[in-house]
Amino acid sequence: MKALYDVAAPAKLNLFLHITGRRADGYHLLQSAFMLIDWCDTLHFEPRADGIISREDLHGIATQEFAAPAALPVDDLVVRAARALQSTTGCTLGAHIGLCKRIPQQAGMGGGSSDAASCLLALNRLWQLNLPLAQLQAIGLRLGADVPFFLAGRNAWVEGIGEKITALCLPPARFRVVKPAAGLDTSRIFAAPALRRDTQTATISGFAVMPSNEMFGFGRNDLQPVAQALCPQVTQALQWLASLGLSPRMTGSGSAVFAKLVDASQTSDSAGLPALWQVRDCSNLEVHPLFGWAS
């Protein structure tokens, strides 16, 4: 295989995020429903015979709606994923990776983890390694807790520290997503003394049988109050969505917020939002665009 171009890496939204406890080693126990959406980064892969992993940022042109993203670190999750796959398999091939970054950073949308997952799937195919999904997920878990979810390729009920993943069927819907200019550091939120860590556990069986209007409004995001205290722009984004008659909440550790659209034909409008904020209407995905790339 000569190259792989236009490889998608979709973002996710947390329909809810409950912190149910904390382990002795400091890791937090959570429950969440992860949902894939059609806001995607794009990656391109060309093989190298010299074993070197190189990466090029393909930002594209900034528009009035979207500012060009900041340059990625040299040793980002994509590069680390490629090197981890090399190390695990002993593969002597390298790759030049082009990354067009569209998913906002520090948003709670899993962009970096999704890029890493798509990198593992693509290079497993490009290098003809033929590793099964379970082995790729073991590599992915060392890179980040969300990477195995993106590798699995389905919407999911997620528990534990993020490693317990159960496929979940969600009805089709559209969502308005707002990313303020400011980002949030996940570690600061989880370290906050005010973070609630005692939410009662729910069951996937109870969640899965809910009507869609209840399913998309279930629970809350336990990280949201701390995030709002750290980043006033989160509150401003929530208030803007609420002013449209929507029921918003934050995704992940923020700072992006979202709300299910009542009228799916309604188009996005950023009127009233500050400059450099991003707003996009997204559809959820039934499966990941690369679903089935690993057995």
Domains, the chain, ordered by start: 1-295 (3.30.230.10)
Report which of 164, 121, 141, 184 is spatially closest to residue 34, judged by C-alpha positions: 164
pTM: 0.93
Pick the closest to residue 258 from 276, 284, 289 (CA basis): 284
Residues of the chain with pLDDT > 70, as a percent, come to 94
- Please state whether the peptide bond connecting residue 253 to the residue before it is cis, i.e. omega within 30 degrees of 0: no
Could you give the residue numbers annotated as active site? 12, 146
Q: pLDDT in tens for each of the 295 residues of the chain? A: 799 999 999 999 999 999 999 999 988 999 999 999 999 999 999 999 999 999 999 875 444 444 555 667 778 999 999 999 999 999 999 999 999 999 999 999 999 999 999 999 999 999 999 999 999 999 999 999 899 999 999 999 999 988 899 999 999 999 999 999 999 999 999 999 999 999 999 999 999 999 988 999 999 999 999 999 999 999 999 999 999 999 999 999 999 999 999 876 666 677 789 989 999 999 999 999 999 999 8
pLDDT at 26: 86
Considering the chain, what percentage of its residues have pLDDT values greater than 90?
A: 84
pLDDT of residue 163: 85
Helices (H) and strands (E) in the chain, counts: 9, 10
**Main-chain dihedrals φ then ψ at residue 273, nearest 5 degrees:** -95, 145
Q: What is the DSSP letter of 108?
A: S
Residue (of 165, 162, 159, 168) closest to 202 by Cα position: 159
